[in-house]
Amino acid sequence: MEYISAKTIVTRTKAPAQWFGIDYNMNIYKGCCHGCIYCDSRSECYGVDDFDKVRAKENALQIIRDDLRRKTRRGVVGTGAMSDPYNPFERELMLSRHALELCDAFGFGTAIATKSALLARDIDILQSIAEHSPVLLKITVTTADDELAAKIEPNVSRPTERFEMIGKLAETGLYTGILLMPVLPFIEDNIENIGEIVRRAGDAGARFIYPAFGMTLRGNQRAWYYHKLEELFPGEGLAAAYQKRYREYYECVSPKAKKLWEYFTQECESRKIVYRMEDIISQYKRPYKVTQMTLPF
């Protein structure tokens, strides 16, 4: 493992209400070896050289401890925005696990985004945090098909493993759901895929699914993605289809987005799965809101 220097790790978010009510961001690792062909974090604007190589931040736990100690306001610490906190190296290094222990000790909540079934290892700490602060577990699932996932997300837990983990997390009472994003145009944006994800999420006990029927593309990320499409789906003309429809657009919304949204919302509502940001935030934070009683005198 290569270590890189950092002055601070737990930083304040600019608009917590807009993204799952997260108050602070925490990225312990830099780069990711999951190999997802669509990853936006590969974009030049983030300045991550050699993105597929995972590096850890030097003295991360000491820095996180000092960062949390200095915070005057408790809140939810989010992790997984730029690099999956449960990459294969985490199994031995346990930096994410120990960081959660610090969040617990200092009275902070947590919101985790991951594609890795390794998250289930830390159920004990997550339950401890949930005794005093909000816990939000977001498991990314873009396809229910293990074979397709093996192509587009080669080095990560298969969807079947992720659904099994969602079941384990949900059984403990931890607030768990799915990030259904990105949904790759011409590959994953079909009723069969969306329906299967919603069905399996419901069977596993997922409380929410937050979707984006499309993806983002820019700069070197776009070039990489097109290269991988040609390599993984030879002769299907997918890269050409993207170039024709999206040109240099950053937001690449599925041409079926409206139809998928209508179908998706109906399926979620029939299973009592929430899917709007404000409802997700309200549900996972509600048990921790203190209501004061005004007594008549």
Render pLDDT for 143-160 as a digit per residue (tens, 0 to 9): 999 999 999 999 999 999
Q: Span 290-297, mean pLDDT?
A: 45
What pLDDT, on a 0 to 100 scale, did the predictor assign at position 295? 43
| Tokens encoding 200 | 């399996």
- The answer on pLDDT for 296 being more than 60 is no
More confident residue, 1 or 11: 11
The DSSP line for 216-242 is E--HHHHHHHHHHHHHHSTTS-HHHHH
For residue 218, the cross-strand partners are none
Cα–Cα dist 36/155, whole Å: 8
What pLDDT, on a 0 to 100 scale, did the predictor assign at position 16? 58
Give the number of other CB atoms < 10 A from CB of residue 19: 16
What pLDDT, on a 0 to 100 scale, did the predictor assign at position 297? 41
What is the residue extent of each domain of the chain? 2-280
**Do the beta carbons of residue 58 and residue 5 sit within 8 Å?**
yes
What pLDDT, on a 0 to 100 scale, did the predictor assign at position 253? 96
Query: Which pLDDT tens digit goes with each residue over 254-269?
Result: 999 999 999 999 999 9
Query: SS3 for 158?
Result: coil
**Do the beta carbons of residue 245 and residue 215 sit within 8 Å?**
no
Q: Span 162-167, mean pLDDT?
A: 98
Query: Which pLDDT tens digit goes with each residue over 212-237?
Result: 999 999 988 999 999 999 999 999 99
What pLDDT, on a 0 to 100 scale, did the predictor assign at position 294? 42
**Do the beta carbons of residue 166 and residue 205 sit within 8 Å?**
yes
Q: Are strands 208-211 and 214-216 parallel, antiparallel or unpaired?
A: unpaired
**Do the beta carbons of residue 221 and residue 189 sit within 8 Å?**
no
DSSP single-letter state for residue 111: E
Query: SS3 for 136?
Result: strand
Q: Is the peptide bond before 182 cis (omega within 30 degrees of 0)?
A: yes
What pLDDT, on a 0 to 100 scale, did the predictor assign at position 45? 72
What pLDDT, on a 0 to 100 scale, did the predictor assign at position 290? 62
**Do the beta carbons of residue 117 and residue 161 sit within 8 Å?**
yes
0.95 cut: is pTM over it? no
Confidence of residue 293 (pLDDT cuts 50, 70, 90): very low
Of the candidates 196, 192, 198, 225, the residue with the CA atom closest to the CA atom of residue 211 = 198
Q: For the chain, what is the largest distance between any 2 Cα atoms, rounded to a whole number of angstroms?
A: 79
Query: Which pLDDT tens digit goes with each residue over 5-51?
Result: 999 999 999 875 689 999 999 999 998 999 999 988 888 777 677 88
DSSP single-letter state for residue 37: T
Specify the CATH number of the domain 2-280. 3.80.30.30
More confident residue, 272 or 31: 272
